[in-house]
Structure 1
Amino acid sequence: MAALSEHFTLCGLLTEADDGRTEILGVEPAGEPDRVLVTDSVQAVTLYKVSDQKPLGAWAVKQGQSITCPAVLNHESGEFVVVHDGKVLRIWKEDNVNLDTAFKATLSADVCRIHTLPNADPLVLFKGGAVLFLDSLLADPQQEIGNILSDGERIVWSEIFADEGQPLIVYVTQQLSSYFVYIHNFSPVCVCKYHLKPNTEGSTILDCSGSVKSKIFTLLTLYSSGQVCQTPFPVSPIDQETERVVTALPLLQLSGPIEVGALKFLDESHVAVLMQSPSTQKDCLSIWNTTFQTLQTACNFPQKTSAQHILFQLWCSDNKLYVPHGKALVVVPYICEVSCLASVLGKSRNIETSENVPFVNWGKLVGKNLEVKQSNSGARKKTRDIKTNGNPGNGTECTLYPLDVQNMSQAQTEVLVQQLLLGKEDTDFQVTVGKITQSLVKHCMADPKYYPQSSLVQLVQTKTLSYSLCPELLSLCLEKRDVHLLQLCLHSFPDVPEAVLCSCLKAFLSISEKWLNAAQIDTESVTLYIDVRDKAKGHKYMEHQEEPTVVQNGFSPTALDEDSCGELIAESLPQTVQMATCPMSNKRAVLVNSVLMSPYSESFLLPHLKDMSGDQVMFFLRYLQYLYQICNENITVSLPGKQVPTVSQIMDWMNLLLDAHFATVVMLSEAKSLLNKIQKTVKSQLKFYSELNKIEGCLAELKELKCPASVSARYSIEVLKLY
């Protein structure tokens, strides 16, 4: 919840004689929380103590000179810095009485703004777009200053931010009806340029603001269409040779079209807007909640403010807003609480209660050994404080994600997803991931050239999505033949329909090897039973030719063909078994395995399997028979490694495939040898389970005959003949 306190006048404003217009160039912090530097466009720089509403010092330039950029405080030296007449730099201390006696340096280019941060050297932004540190500039004031901006391009807004202790200069320029965003990094030194397109065609920028969090710079813009838009930018350096095009994303719809206005970022959930109220036709200062898109508080001014004259007429410092109102500079204190649904609905949270509230430990109910604790109001308040005031990178309630990504570029999409993944602890993380994924898929379908594959992979890997939440995602992957993303979806989605599952299978079986080689697929899960086996098959075959192998536990599945119905004996493994190789490449095997392990219903899957071609059926059957053969050789119910199908899944798919295409397979001449192998496989399986049933009966009899051991100093060995 946000609230505006009663405003008060800080100072009166002088007016220019020619047009009677009052213009404040800037209100900048002056070191201490209760002090600000006010610079007007007439002649003066004044230092005020806000709580006392009185000046602590004032400095003016000579008659005929004019201050051209706001005065600032150099936090490193404690000196004030100002520029007059475009190029003349003045530096003085608070105890200086006359500005004429202050240090003077004439520069070689016009200055746009001087920006400062605590514990950092001031940065000078020139009108040509160059940015230099003040110290390096004072070492050679007449050094040549290069131009970054093109002809006709001018700076309309600029600000300095701190990114992990490093300064970051961001400014917005205008050239005719086009707007550009420049981001200056200083570690390493680089300049990134973006072409900013409005969300509404033909609208112009009235004011800007911004913030930096977790390597993401978010630009807020107020447009003449009455919209407040946000645009995320990566702080990390990108290709400087490429001018990227980004589109502003709508965040708030304030009213209809407006002519003037001002905007200021307050915190992660609130922005302040100064504009003309459409109902009262008076200038109105309001605070909006950007998380819930609601108006929190507002106050109307009886007279016009000076925001009608210039672009920037709203400043913020130390929880106070500064607004030129008529012929006075007005201070409006404000407060912003942490956003929650209760405050937006106008209800306050009752945190002062003395009763103990028990919390049910659901983790213990599901088998986790967690300690059940009783919590009182103090504990809840402490938890809430930690959640609110903790690491900004792990914020929960104030994180803001734009869900309308229809006009975002791929660079903006990557930034948005990175910002989203930083808030995995958010209570609404799953919902946000789902909405953003839906918007990205719709954007991809509307624009065939747009496909942020890496962003979609990161969203799927959160394991919070499902087919029912985003059904168009798999269709998009099939259309783009993105087998890597298809595989991730099949592993993550528990509710893939049988029709889509069969479409994925046919795509995996028919896609070319050239396309597979270009795909990024992890083959570690199949190399444990494909690469090792195929490389060693020659060695194993020679070994078995020289010396018969005695099969453990008295059982060899390969020996149980149609002629082996008697006693199980040790014999050599057939040559055809040892020479068998995987019919698929490693990457294709990984993809097909993801289908084998997906849940399905036989009655719904069987009709769709009938749509497969004969070549696909034979290809798939050979792979299934190969997998089952490996399981039989190792006498195990699963393949080695992780994310591999079990022998039960292999047999189920083999049965379903034969049920769907038995008539087709029987008519194919090349299927004869494969069917013979499968027949032997089934007979060996039946024989194996038959022998297990015999052993089970014998073990049951042994359990019944078991007698309690008698206490004796002797021991004996008894031989029991089972059969």
Structure 2
Amino acid sequence: MHSAFSCSLSLLIVAMAGFGIAQYLGPLPASGRVVGLEPGGDDDRVLVTRGERNVTLYKVSKQHALGSWSLRQGQAISAPAVLCATTGELAVVKNTQTLQLWKESDVNLEKVFRCTVTHPIHRLLPGPWCGGAAVLFTCGAVHSLDTVLSSPLCTVTGCLLSGEVIRWCKVVADRDKHLIVFVSEKENALRLHVAAPGDAQAWNAPWNVGGKPTMPLAQDAILQREDLVLISLCSDSKLYKSEVLASHRNPESLPSMVMSTQLMELPGWEPSSRAVSMALLGDCHVAVASLPESSAAGCLSLWNTKFKTLHASLSISNMTAECGELRSLGGNLFLPLEESLFVVPWRGNSSSLADALGRQPTAEEDCFAVVDWATSQVETAHGKEFLKNSCSTEGMDAQIKSIASFIERGSTTKAFQELSRLVSGTIPKALHPMLADLTRRVIVHLQDKPGTAAHNILVHLVNSHCLSYSSCPDVFRMVLTARDLALLHICLRTFPDIPECRLVSCINLFLSVTEAEVEKAAVNCDEMSQFESTIDIVPGEERDKPDVSLTDATNEEEDSDYESAGEKSSLGPSEQVPTCPVSYRRATLLNAALMIPYSSAILLPCLKLLSADHALVLLKYLHFLFYQCCLRISGKNGSSHVPQLRQVVDWISLLIDAHFSVLFMMPEAKHVIIQMQNLTKSQVNIVFQLQKMSALLNDFRYMRTKAARTPKFYSIDVLFI
């Protein structure tokens, strides 16, 4: 029953998202395939090694090269270049045994530092070690770059046997811990190695993946709470998980073999793909790039391993079998192609069921605030902008000090008059910290001597759009304690950085106060009262009969696992059209809270603090908003103070995730869930039909464009008579 209910909930998500807008970085200089992608010093730079001679440093956001270096004829790069984190220098291995280091300002690589070692080098790995990198030799030895440069002719003792070769390696990190993981192979036998420069507890053990001794198609590793987790994709279209506990690094408790367990199966994935690569994105997401034999285009898919779901998918038209390794660097996924880099940002959170079902915000998202406290510049989620300077900073500085002196002397009436003149003009950003200090003085005065004038001063300060929760958290704390609904509503509309715990406290307060307290609050609920009367009407259709089936008879069999026998929904047609479960004034307060920017990973545990009754009322109200949004052709409410469809779906998913078991056991929630499921199915069907029409329109546009390019004139040249 639990699984059936979970499947029905998945239909609450109308649109999936996980990737941002993709772009192509290039064309790449030189020729040959990309053999290395490494961090370039910050999240917006990447170091690319292409072919046997070229190294290029790119600025991703501006899509241009910051520097490019090439080796001369007769030299070849044998290990990709890295940027040393501690020194800022670039390092590369040429001809297997020569290290070459240079700075970004260097132009001629023939005049830079080089060092020849006695043993062949397999790879340079960037990290916080001495010299900013580690050197992995082909014999399996690991040393810091400084150690190798200081003693290049010293003997290196490795852990690999004769004929054993390294197939894959990576640096994994967790907080302050950095380890080097590599896989070696000899006669189809795999061994997993974990080491670090100067680490006396380096160890290795046989590795078995999916019961097969062969190397998997792709693999990646991360550190989770100091435990090594290795995820592998094998030819049977299954992901396998291998774990090495931190205690196993003790030689006395060394495992005899590292085994793997099946993590999930990738349905629809073709194991006969010509190119396969994967990258782990956090604890629960895996990105897989592949080029199926049956398709001319590649595919980049994002899977949630916790809930075994496909999160997002992208098509890569110019992907070939010679593409490079998929890498995750600085919040972006990089896939090397023949002449360019395919770059796509990845955003998401793996902590909740809502995210697993594709609840991530899109690139056009407008509900997040951008806050820069260094310059006191804040852009709110509702598109409000701060006023520009219209008077001198010095004069307003003196005016604020005058208001503060009035408050200290108890002349709140004069302070209110002076403040009214101040906020009626434009306030420079440089004075926002002074207004925050003035607000703290008003709060202290209100605590000692409550009064209407001081309260009005506080309302004016909050309405000035110059304050935030970070600059003056006492305001929010005092308003919540005093249960001042009107001022709390203003704070929710003007503060761009309200913490998730405070946000849930506001929702809890709005749902718990009596109706008499709500009616006393000076809150404008005109937009909410007009909300149901602003629905877009399709010509020829009645307003109260939308093309939405809330009682789909075909769903009876699917819902049988959730509804007990003989307990089918007996609601009449009039009862199945959801009405607003709260008053318009209370709904206006809830809307302000529902439109606040948040992080789902932080909000989810906070939502669990809501009582079961409050969670049910909130779910009914979200169902009402969901229904109203679906009735509109555009999917938008036409109001800046009423949540839009995407925001409503996000909240429904998070709320059900936070109170899954409670709502499952509540009979009152059953009908709400079923109605939302049926409503969502109808919307998904509409979207499916629109997608088919969009494909036809695109073909029509393509044919018209092709016809427009056809030459209308021709000429004849006489070549010979």
**TM-score of the two chains, using structure 2 as the length reference:** 0.47
Bigger relative contact order (CA 8 A; separation at least 6): 2
Which has the larger Rg? 1
TM-score under structure 1 length normalisation: 0.47
